[in-house]
Structure 1
């Protein structure tokens, strides 16, 4: 039996996240619930391609006292209407892509209802993306934080401030490619909206 792949739960995860999933033979994805929340990571940040280049979509969180908080306890902040802005940005960026309308209703739900906790929000998107990308995977969760819970531990490996986790990513058509060239390792929705059912072939 293959050891599960240990991953953090990201907001609309980047393409490299799903490349790692495709490369790992395990049927189980082990998501980390007990790590301390990490600032400026893909846990609250997704990158999309717009007419003006790469845009970061950032989910605001409720900042409490200064002690470190487990990611499972991080709450989403709804004081400002970020959901409307994120959905408008996605529509503006991908309305002219080949498959946006095909997936539009599936993704709109994340911007029409409120999830109290960041982890629940991210896991719900991951479940949808796994389905859209045709991965038959089971999601489980850590029961405590441990230094090494799996043979393949990617909790810190995929990060916007580090180098590209998958430098050999193949190019695919992007809406604004003529303006900016190919932009690698954006959110997997960029791949999905541009390539649709063929997306898994690029992973």
Structure 2
């Protein structure tokens, strides 16, 4: 039996993230809470399928010595109206999807209420996503940082947008597939808004 795994905490994670969570259900799952913030990762960005193809959403963070800032202490930069931009992007991309209106009320608060810390924001989003996907996953936050785990699978660096894992989710209908190529393994929201309660069958 698997001894568990340690996961990074992403913004609107991709399908592979949830496939791995689902496959390790019942084992000890840890969410990394003590790491220093690594730049240029999915921790503050996500990819969705927009009207013109691949669209990247990025949550701005406070400038400074990011390399020395613990992820849990990293503040969101709310100087620009990024939430409005993200919400408009989601509405434009998925308003015509089969299940957008069904889940709209669950996600709208994340784009209309101010949040201070990126980690807290992403963790609350993760809870809503797990609930929406009907995935009952028990997890705990790490209490200290370990650069390496010998007894657990470590996804902290492997689930990186700069790397290709070779994972392919089962194909499903995407909103703009009549004009754009199919986009594999993008944000789980794309799958959720188009497939609703059946989303987990496409992991």
CA drift of 1:114 comes to 1.4
The equivalent of 1:59 in structure 2 is 59
CA drift of 1:66 comes to 5.8
Range moving further from structure 2, 53-62 or 167-176: 167-176
The equivalent of 1:123 in structure 2 is 123
Distance 2:38 2:14 in 1: 17
The equivalent of 1:14 in structure 2 is 14
Distance 1:113 1:138 in 2: 27
The equivalent of 1:88 in structure 2 is 88
The Cα offsets for residues 126-168 of structure 1, whole Å up to 9 and x where unpaired, read as: 00111111111123111111023451110001111111x3523
The equivalent of 1:153 in structure 2 is 154
- 1:32-51 matches, within 5 Å, as 32-51=32-51
Range moving further from structure 2, 63-72 or 113-122: 63-72
* Backbone CA RMSD of aligned residues: 1.5
> How many residue pairs were aligned?
202
CA drift of 1:181 comes to 2.3
Distance 1:108 1:166, change over 3 A: farther
SS of the aligned residue for 1:131 comes to helix
Distance 1:134 1:166, change over 3 A: farther
Q: Is the 8 A contact 1:5 1:26 kept in 2?
A: no
Unaligned runs of 5+ in 1: none
- Give me the TM-score of the superposition, normalised by structure 2: 0.94
The equivalent of 1:26 in structure 2 is 26
Q: Is the 8 A contact 2:36 2:67 kept in 1?
A: no
